[in-house]
Structure 1
Amino acid sequence: MIIEFRCDRAQPRLWMCRESLRVNDQDIPVQIAWTTTPEPRPAGLDMLFELERIVLRKGKTGGADRLKAIPERPRAGEPDVVVDFTTATRDPGCSAKLYLRPRFNGHAGESALLSAILAGDLPVIEIVNELDGSVMDRGHPSAETAAGLSGGLETVMARTLSMLPPILSGAPRLVPQLAAPASGGELRNPAPFVVRGVATSIAKEIYRLCCYAPHWHVGWRFAGNADTWRTGNLSGPAWNVLGDPGNHFYADPFPVQWQGRTFVFFEDLDHRTGKGIISAIEFDGNGPIGTVMPVLEEPWHLSYPFLIEDRGELWMIPESSAHRDVPIYKCIRFPDKWERHSTLLSGLELADVTVTQHNGLHYMFGAWRDGTGGYSDTLAIYYAGQLLGPWQPHAANPILMDRATTRPAGNFVTVDGKLWRPVQDCTNGYGAALGLAEVLELSPTTYKQAVRHLLKPGPLWTGRKLHTLNRCGQLEVIDGSRVQPKTTAFLASLRSNDQSSQWSWHNTLAKPIVRRLL
């Protein structure tokens, strides 16, 4: 197979220097055909991108950086597959069997991509086969790594490139129906956008100086028959907050009843080191008892302590994406002694791994990442005959790319014979809301889901985010985020109107910034 990228000679960027694509476990070389198009370019775009590189990325190289010289590679021959990133008209004499053109909110070319970002959001990506007009795949990327206009361009192109290998593999694609924001292809003046981006970056830095960010906390209640899965919302008994020491945050709560005792396991992150471990606290019929105890620590970051019972044993699969594997730990002494048993998958970033059993098979869901782009927009599924594997990839991996319906947010549940899973809705940022998705089809070759309910923070659960949902018996747990000042003096200053205090500068500068961020 010969793959050819067609790129605009007037806009050569670092992301275009992809030398190969990995398709069906083989590295397929990529040749580049440079094309000159009349696509408009806003004045000063390169200068603005350089400003973002210095200010927002601290001088680091990025995929949106302009190439100083156009690389000339030898052509291997006439291409079998063309991926045209320009707005040029397709050559009718091209003999390629597949002619793909990425579109951004329905329009081709870099200007359409930038126009969508300037309109306030990352675009919906479509990969269109221009030979018959069919949409081969569609996705909506998340923006965790998209700093500024150049960061948005880099994120979108990274995800565009990650969509190509599944298409070229010949595997069945489960093309999601995603509504693109209404926006034209005209390119606006980017200067105000960049200025706002720099100002926001400065405000966030001030916020981080004053407060621990983010600061997650765990909520709990005894829900009875008014749990979230039955009501489709957060109503019912009031939520209580599990206390934390302030310089640690608690997130990803998973409750379990084992050997006659109930514990909630969660990520315990020390803000001073930025590293997470797994801790737990016991609950009785009235709430938490005793103190938080650490139960699992590794040299790398751990989070999302997914728990599962199998063949009379209790197992934990904590997120270990920083170590690029999916480990499984066996409970040796409940609740505080766990031993690494084996590695289920290795050599990949798979976040928030969640396992369910369905029609005689185990299915593992996780937020997949190939080293670039966002962390919460791409779903991968694996299946196995038993929990310890061997695990095989779903035929359509990665299943879908959609920031609103991909990343796991807790255990699967069965309600009235139907299988459901909570999903993170990262449309307005990582962990901003929760969706309750009904699983309509699940097999080694198919997958369909539909989000039936969307839960957002509000009067019933205050804060900025809503991140994880789980239940064990009558005990229901969620998590969210709040403002956590680094000093009590700063907290007092936020609540005080005394402009003469030693913290008066916070009242005039940081206070409105923090409130706006909230």
Structure 2
Amino acid sequence: MIIEFRCDRAQARLWMRRETLRVSDQDIPVQIAWTTTPGPGPAGLDMLFELERIVLRKGKAGDVDRLKTIAERPRMGNPDVVVDFTTAERDPNCSARLYLRPHFNGQAGEAAALAAILAGDLPVIEIVNELDGTVMDRGHPSAEIATGLSGGLETVMARTLSMLPPILSGAPRLVPQLAVPATGSAPGNPAPFVLRGVATSIAKEIYRLCCYAPHWHVGWRYADDADIWRTGDLSGPAWNVLGDPGNHFYADPVPVKWQGRTFVFFEDLDHRTGKGIISAIEFDGNGPVGTVLPVLEEPWHLSYPFLIENNCELWMIPESTAHRDVPIYKCVRFPDKWERQGTLLSGLELADATITQHDGLYYMFGAWRDGTGGYSDTLAIYYAEQLFGPWRPHASNPILMDRATTRPAGNFVTINGKLWRPVQDCTNGYGAALGLAEVLELSPTIYRQAVRHLLKPGPLWTGRKLHTLNRCGRLEVIDGSRVQPKTTALLNSLRSSDRPAQREWQGTLAKPIARRLH
């Protein structure tokens, strides 16, 4: 197979240097056909991108930076598949079996993607086969790393490229029914957008100087028949907040009852180091008892401590994307001693891995990322006959790309014979809301789901976000974020009369101020 990218010479960018595309574990060669389309691009775009590179990306190069030298690569022959990133008319003499053109909010070309970003959001991406007008796939990327106009365009193009391999593999696609916003194909003046982005970045730096951001906290309650899965909302018994020391945040709570005792495990991130470990605290019939115990730490960041019982043993599968694998740990002393027993998957970023058993197989769901693009918009599924594998990729991986319905948000539940899973809705930012999705069909070749309820922070759960839901018996846990001034943690340290902590806090506050003064 030969794949041909058709690109506009006037919009040559670093991502266009790609020489292969990985399809079904094979590297397929890519040739570039350069075209020239009429009409100027947005005025001063290169200069504005350079400003963002210096200020927002701290000088780091990006895939949408200008390709200064275009190296003409020899053609390998007539393409089997054309992917046209331009707005030029399709060549009627082209003999390719597939002629794909990405659309951004219904329009083709880079200008359409820029117009959508300038209008305030990343566009819905559609991959259209122009030979018959079929929409082969559709997705809506998340914007966690989309800093500025250039970062938004980089995220959009990265996700556009990641949508191509599953189409070319011939796997069945779950094409989400997403509303396509109506935006024009011609971008407006990008200068005000970029300057606002720079100003916002400076404001965020000032905010981070005064507050820890983000600061997640865990909510808990004892619920009988008024739990979230039965009510579809946050009503019922009032939510309590698990106290934290202020300079740590707690997130991704997972409760479990083992050996007659109930503990809630969670990500415990120290703001001063930026690295997470797994900690736990015991609960009795009234609430938390004792103190928080560190239970698992690695040299890299850990989070989302998914727990599963198998063969009368308790196992933990924490998120380990920083190490690019999916590890599994055995509990050798509950709750505070765990030993790594193996690696379920390696060489990939799979966030919030969550496992369920269905029709005699184990299925692992996770938010997949191929090194670029957002962290919360692409779903991958793997399946195995046993917990330790071997784990095989679902035939349609990645299953779908939709920031509102992809990333796991807690354990699966079965209600009246139906399988459900909580999902993060990142439409308004990472972890902003939580959806309850019914699994309609699940097999090694097919997956379908439907979100039935959407939960957002509000009077019943104050804060800015809501992104995890789990339950064990009567104990129900969620999490969210709040504003956490650094002075609050300082006062906590002073009250504890911890002189080393006081000195540490003085240094924490003084050093950023000194850097900005100098």
TM-score, normalised with respect to structure 1: 0.94
Once the two structures are superposed, what CA deviation does each residue of 1:103-143 show, in whole Å capped at 9, x if it has no partner?
A: 00110001100000011100000011111111111110000
Q: 1:286 aligns to what?
A: 286
Counterparts of 1:210 and 1:379, CA distance in 2 = 36
Counterparts of 2:409 and 2:379, CA distance in 1 = 12
Q: 2:357 aligns to what?
A: 357
Counterparts of 1:225 and 1:97, CA distance in 2 = 56
Q: Give the RMSD, CA atoms, in angstroms.
A: 1.2
Quote the offset at 1:6 in angstroms.
0.3
Q: 1:260 aligns to what?
A: 260
What code does the residue aligned with 2:113 have?
L
Counterparts of 1:186 and 1:327, CA distance in 2 = 47
- 1:109–1:39 CA distance, 2 compared to 1 (3 A): farther
The residue matched to 2:173 in structure 1 has which SS? coil
Q: How does 1:82-121 map to 2 (within 5 A)?
A: 82-121=82-121
The residue matched to 1:199 in structure 2 has which SS? helix
Quote the offset at 1:186 in angstroms.
2.2
1:210/1:490 contact within 8 Å kept: no
Q: Does 1:233 align with 2:233?
A: yes
Counterparts of 2:402 and 2:300, CA distance in 1 = 28
What code does the residue aligned with 2:236 have?
G
Counterparts of 1:348 and 1:44, CA distance in 2 = 38
Runs of 4+ in structure 1 off by over 4 angstroms are 489-492
Q: 1:172 aligns to what?
A: 172
Quote the offset at 1:398 in angstroms.
0.3
What code does the residue aligned with 1:235 have?
S
Once the two structures are superposed, what CA deviation does each residue of 1:394-442 show, in whole Å capped at 9, x if it has no partner?
A: 0000000000000000000111111110000001110000000010000
What code does the residue aligned with 2:189 have?
N
Q: 1:27 aligns to what?
A: 27
The residue matched to 2:11 in structure 1 has which SS? coil
The residue matched to 1:48 in structure 2 has which SS? helix
Q: 1:67 aligns to what?
A: 67
Q: 2:390 aligns to what?
A: 390
What code does the residue aligned with 1:136 have?
M
Q: Does 1:214 align with 2:214?
A: yes
Counterparts of 1:231 and 1:23, CA distance in 2 = 43
Structure 1 portions without partners, runs of 5+: 493-518
Counterparts of 1:67 and 1:229, CA distance in 2 = 51
Counterparts of 1:39 and 1:208, CA distance in 2 = 42
Q: Does 1:462 align with 2:462?
A: yes
Once the two structures are superposed, what CA deviation does each residue of 1:326-361 show, in whole Å capped at 9, x if it has no partner?
A: 011111011011111111011100000000011111
The residue matched to 1:47 in structure 2 has which SS? helix
Question: After alignment, is 83-92 or 25-34 more displaced?
Answer: 25-34
2:245/2:489 contact within 8 Å kept: no
1:10/1:36 contact within 8 Å kept: yes
Q: How does 1:153-168 map to 2 (within 5 A)?
A: 153-168=153-168
Q: 1:341 aligns to what?
A: 341
- 1:322–1:123 CA distance, 2 compared to 1 (3 A): same
Quote the offset at 1:491 in angstroms.
9.2
Counterparts of 1:53 and 1:85, CA distance in 2 = 24
Counterparts of 1:465 and 1:489, CA distance in 2 = 21
Counterparts of 1:482 and 1:321, CA distance in 2 = 25
2:305/2:317 contact within 8 Å kept: yes
Counterparts of 2:101 and 2:390, CA distance in 1 = 37
1:127/1:138 contact within 8 Å kept: yes
Quote the offset at 1:15 in angstroms.
1.3
Counterparts of 2:66 and 2:400, CA distance in 1 = 30
The residue matched to 2:202 in structure 1 has which SS? helix
- 1:121–1:20 CA distance, 2 compared to 1 (3 A): same
Q: How does 1:351-500 map to 2 (within 5 A)?
A: 351-488=351-488
The residue matched to 2:10 in structure 1 has which SS? coil
What code does the residue aligned with 1:126 have?
E
- 1:491–1:130 CA distance, 2 compared to 1 (3 A): farther
Quote the offset at 1:187 in angstroms.
1.5
Counterparts of 1:199 and 1:450, CA distance in 2 = 39
1:331/1:337 contact within 8 Å kept: yes
Q: 1:56 aligns to what?
A: 56
1:39/1:111 contact within 8 Å kept: no
1:381/1:393 contact within 8 Å kept: yes
Q: 1:193 aligns to what?
A: 193
Q: Does 1:149 align with 2:170?
A: no
What code does the residue aligned with 2:173 have?
R
- 1:447–1:489 CA distance, 2 compared to 1 (3 A): closer
What code does the residue aligned with 2:62 have?
G
Q: 1:319 aligns to what?
A: 319
2:155/2:374 contact within 8 Å kept: yes
What code does the residue aligned with 2:361 have?
L
Question: After alignment, is 463-472 or 165-174 more displaced?
Answer: 165-174
- 1:292–1:490 CA distance, 2 compared to 1 (3 A): closer
What code does the residue aligned with 1:437 have?
A
Quote the offset at 1:40 in angstroms.
3.8
Counterparts of 2:42 and 2:314, CA distance in 1 = 59
Question: In percent, how many aligned pairs have the same letter?
Answer: 87
Quote the offset at 1:489 in angstroms.
9.6
Counterparts of 1:39 and 1:87, CA distance in 2 = 11
1:39/1:87 contact within 8 Å kept: no
Quote the offset at 1:488 in angstroms.
3.6
Quote the offset at 1:26 in angstroms.
1.2
**How many correspondences in the alignment?**
492
Structure 2 portions without partners, runs of 5+: 493-518
The residue matched to 1:114 in structure 2 has which SS? helix
Quote the offset at 1:174 in angstroms.
1.5
1:136/1:167 contact within 8 Å kept: yes
The residue matched to 2:151 in structure 1 has which SS? helix
1:325/1:345 contact within 8 Å kept: yes
Counterparts of 1:57 and 1:19, CA distance in 2 = 26
Question: After alignment, is 482-491 or 368-377 more displaced?
Answer: 482-491
Counterparts of 1:490 and 1:143, CA distance in 2 = 33
Counterparts of 1:49 and 1:95, CA distance in 2 = 37
The residue matched to 1:10 in structure 2 has which SS? helix
1:8/1:37 contact within 8 Å kept: yes
- 1:489–1:28 CA distance, 2 compared to 1 (3 A): closer
Counterparts of 2:139 and 2:94, CA distance in 1 = 27
TM-score, normalised with respect to structure 2: 0.94
Q: Does 1:18 align with 2:15?
A: no
Counterparts of 2:429 and 2:174, CA distance in 1 = 25
